[in-house]
Amino acid sequence: INWYQDCEALFFFLFGEDKLTTVCKIFAATSINTSMKANITLFRKALYEIENDLPIGAYMPNIKMQLEKIRAGGDLSGRKIRSFAAAMGGDTNAVVVDVWLMRAFEMEKKYFKKDAARGEGAFRNAGASDKTYTLIENYCRELAVAKKLEPRQISAMLWAGTRIHHTGDKETHYKDLLRNKIINLFNVI
C-alpha cells in the first residue's frame, strides 16, 4: 500500500528535496522495459552521467530519448512514465497503468516484433491505449475514494499483487534494492 510513499521518502532521504523531481524522472525513464534490479543499475548510471554532465551512455533508444529530455529540462513523454515519476514524487492522485495493471484487468495486449537481421521475432507487451489507460486509471481513482485510500496506493497494491501472482517473486519494492546498491559503481577513482 505504501510503495510510492516509501519510494518518495527514500529518494528524499538519499538525494534531498531539491533533487526529488529529477531523481523521480530519471528513475521512471530507466524503468522502461527493465527488471527492478536492472532499473537500479541504469538509474545510478544515468544519475551519475547527468549530475556530472557526462554524455548519455548506451541505453535502449526510448530510455536514451527520455534521459536527453530530462537533461534538457524537459518533460518525460508517455503517460505511464510521467505517472510513475509523479507517483514517486508525491502526486497521490497518480495511477501507473503498466503491463501488470493491464494483466490485473485482463486487458494485456501483445504484438509481434520481427528482427529482420535475424529473421526471427517474438511477442512483446504493448502499452495501454489511451482508452484503456483512462478506464483503469478511473477505476483506481473511484476505488480509492470508496476505500479512503490514495489512487497511487490502489495502483501499487494491484501492481504488487498481480506481479506476485504471475511471477511468484515477492520482492516488489525498489527501496531495499536501491539502499543496498547506493555505492556508485560508475565513479572511477
Condensed to tens digits (0 to 9), the pLDDT of residues 1-33 reads 999 999 999 999 999 999 999 999 999 999 998
Q: CA-to-CA distance for 137 and 154, rounded, in angstroms?
A: 10
For residue 152, the SS3 value is helix
pLDDT confidence of residue 175:
73
Assign residue 127 a region (left: φ > 0; alpha: ψ between -120 and 50; beta: otherwise): beta
97-156, pLDDT tens digit by residue? 999 999 999 988 877 777 767 777 777 777 889 999 999 999 999 999 999 999 999 999
Cα–Cα distances in Å, from 68 out to 58, 175, 180?
12, 25, 27
> Has residue 180 got a pLDDT over 70?
no
Q: Which residues pair with 111 in a beta bridge?
A: 124
Q: Which of 10, 2, 5, 4 is nearest to 177 (CA)?
A: 10
Label residue 182 by pLDDT band (50, 70, 90). Answer: low
Question: Percent of the chain scored above 70 by pLDDT?
Answer: 93
Query: pLDDT of 66-111, one tens digit each?
Result: 999 999 999 999 999 999 999 999 999 999 999 999 999 998 887 7
Q: Cα dist. 180→55, 166, 174 in Å?
A: 26, 26, 10
User: What pLDDT is stored for residue 126 in this prediction?
Assistant: 73
Cell output for 30: 530507466
How far apart, in Å, do the first and last CA atoms of the chain sit? 40
User: 189 falls in which pLDDT band (50, 70, 90)?
Assistant: very low
Tens-digit pLDDT profile for residues 27-76 = 999 999 888 888 988 999 999 999 999 999 999 999 999 999 999 999 99
Q: If DSSP codes are grouped into helix, strand and coil, which group holds residue 162? A: helix
Exposed / middle / buried, residue 145 (Cβ in 10 Å: 0-12, 13-18, 19+): exposed
